[in-house]
């Protein structure tokens, strides 16, 4: 089978862009419910979906929240948005544009946006890297990584999540001991919305198997010793047998960026 011509690829991309634009134009908006209402929904769902059942859980998310749902994606892979897009086509997919990403991560983000039925929302810090350097000094990620994550990840995400009722994450129990008890549904007090972790009981191998079965885009760094991918200055390769997140903030007393704590 011959590869598509440049003209065919261009037309396919234009069709993809038209479909996304038409969907966004037709998307019905509705008022955001109160924190008390959302908290009650989270409590009910935490019992109802205590055993996971990914498809049933996401069908409930689609019916209950629709496009007041956001999915957070680090672009280590596109499995989570792919799973969710089957229930909510063109779901808003939040990408934290920290300014410190690997080139492979940015490339994955661009490939996902141009080929999948989702809507990338670039979540930007208030300051560029240069502006942050001017205020706090260069290489803040080395001197105070918690502050760097707060400025470039936590605060921008918190501001963005204010427009949604629920957010979906790819947190898995096998990521690290700190995540071993991750629930499928919980109330996110810090951000004031329902938090869903539909892949909580998936293993890393299950993620890769799903990607292979459904031809889902993977960040090439996954096959280069990086099972957990963050900002380039704060991420190293992981040796065989190490914890998957051992390469994040290696040598520092830090294993989480603050998004899920």
* Residue pLDDT, tens place only, 205-230: 999 999 999 999 999 999 999 988 99
**Mean pLDDT value across residues 122-132:** 94
Residue 73 is labelled as binding a ligand: no
- Is the distance from CB of 170 to CB of 80 less than 8 angstroms? yes
Whether 88 is covered by a domain: the verdict is yes
Rg of the chain taking only CA atoms, in angstroms: 19
User: Residue 1 above 60 pLDDT?
Assistant: no
Q: Annotated active-site positions, please? A: 257
Residue 230, classed as helix, strand or coil, is coil
Cα distance from N-terminal residue to C-terminal residue, the chain: 49
CA 19/CA 46 separation, integer angstroms: 35
Identify the CATH number of the domain in which residue 169 sits. Answer: 3.40.50.620
List, for residues 141-172, the tens digit of each pLDDT value: 999 999 999 999 999 999 999 999 999 999 89
**What confidence tier does 253 reach under pLDDT thresholds 50, 70, 90?**
low
Q: What is the DSSP letter of 77?
A: B
List, for residues 163-207, the tens digit of each pLDDT value: 999 999 998 988 777 778 899 999 999 999 999 999 999 998 999
Strand order in the sheet with 185-188: 118-123, 91-96, 69-72, 166-168, 193-196, 185-188
- Is the distance from CB of 95 to CB of 116 less than 8 angstroms? no
State the total domains in the chain. 1
CA 219/CA 101 separation, integer angstroms: 12
**Mean pLDDT value across residues 52-60:** 91
CA 159/CA 152 separation, integer angstroms: 12
Whether 2 is covered by a domain: the verdict is no
Q: Give the number of residues written for the chain.
A: 261
CA 78/CA 7 separation, integer angstroms: 26
Whether 258 is covered by a domain: the verdict is no
3-state helix, strand, coil in the chain (%, to 5): 45, 10, 40
pTM of the model: 0.84
CA 261/CA 259 separation, integer angstroms: 6
**Mean pLDDT value across residues 82-98:** 93
Whether 250 is covered by a domain: the verdict is no
Q: Which residues contact 183 (CB under 8 A, 6 or more apart)?
A: 46, 50, 197, 200
Q: What is the DSSP letter of 163?
A: T
- Is the distance from CB of 58 to CB of 85 less than 8 angstroms? no
User: Token pair for residue 37?
Assistant: 């209402």
CA 106/CA 231 separation, integer angstroms: 11
Whether 57 is covered by a domain: the verdict is yes
Q: Which residues contact 185 (CB under 8 A, 6 or more apart)?
A: 42, 45, 46, 49, 57, 194, 195, 196, 197
Whether 55 is covered by a domain: the verdict is yes
Whether 1 is covered by a domain: the verdict is no
Query: Average per-residue pLDDT in the chain?
Result: 88
- Provide the domain limits for residue 84: 19-225
CA 58/CA 185 separation, integer angstroms: 11
Whether 115 is covered by a domain: the verdict is yes
């Amino acid at each position: 089978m011959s590869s598509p011509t440049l003209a065919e690829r261009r037309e396919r991309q234009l069709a993809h862009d038209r479909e996304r634009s038409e969907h966004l134009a037709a998307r019905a908006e509705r008022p955001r419910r109160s924190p008390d209402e959302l908290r009650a929904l989270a409590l009910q769902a935490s019992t109802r979906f205590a055993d996971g059942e990914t498809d049933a859980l996401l069908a409930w998310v689609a019916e209950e929240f629709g496009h007041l749902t956001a999915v957070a994606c680090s672009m280590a892979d596109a499995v989570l948005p792919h799973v969710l897009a089957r229930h909510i086509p063109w779901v808003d997919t939040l990408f934290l544009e920290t300014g410190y990403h690997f080139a492979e991560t940015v490339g994955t983000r661009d490939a996902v946006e141009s080929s999948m039925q989702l809507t990338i929302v670039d979540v930007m810090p208030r300051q560029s890297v240069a502006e942050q350097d001017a205020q706090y000094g260069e290489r803040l990620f080395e001197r105070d990584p918690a502050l760097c994550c707060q400025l470039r990840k936590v605060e921008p995400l918190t501001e963005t999540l204010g427009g949604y009722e629920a957010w979906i994450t790819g947190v898995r129990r096998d990521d690290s001991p700190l995540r071993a008890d991750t629930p499928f549904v919980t109330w996110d007090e810090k951000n004031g919305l329902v938090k869903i972790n539909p892949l909580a009981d998936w293993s890393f191998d299950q993620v890769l198997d799903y990607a292979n079965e459904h031809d889902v885009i993977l960040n090439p760094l996954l096959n280069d010793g990086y099972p957990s991918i963050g900002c380039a200055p704060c991420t190293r390769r992981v040796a065989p047998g190490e914890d998957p997140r051992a390469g994040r903030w290696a040598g520092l007393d830090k294993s989480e960026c603050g998004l899920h704590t």
